Amino acid sequence: MNYRDWYCVQVASGCEQKAKADLLARKAVLEDRYILDVEVPETTELQVKKDGKRKAVKTKLLPGYILVQVRKQTVEQEDGTFVKEFPRDTQQTIRATFNVIGFAGANKNKPQAMRPSEVRSLFDRVDDTHVEVKQNVQIDYNEGDILDVVAGPFVGHKTEVTSIQGTKILGQLDLFGRTI
Per-residue pLDDT tens for 115-163?
Answer: 999 998 888 887 554 344 344 445 677 888 888 888 777 888 888 888 8
Q: How many CB atoms lie within 10 A of CB 99?
A: 19
50 or 30, which is more confident? 30
Backbone angles phi, psi at 176, to 5 degrees: 55, 40
pTM value? 0.65
d(C-alpha 127, C-alpha 51), whole Å = 26
pLDDT for the residue 138: 58
d(C-alpha 48, C-alpha 70), whole Å = 39
pLDDT for the residue 180: 75
d(C-alpha 95, C-alpha 109), whole Å = 8
For residue 6, what pLDDT band results from cuts at 50, 70 and 90? very high
For residue 167, what pLDDT band results from cuts at 50, 70 and 90? low
Helix (H) / strand (E) element for 37: namely: strand 35-39
Task: Please report the DSSP string for 99-156 in residue order.
Answer: TEEEESSS-TTS--BPPHHHHHHHHHH---TT--SSPPPPP---TT-EEE--SSTTTT
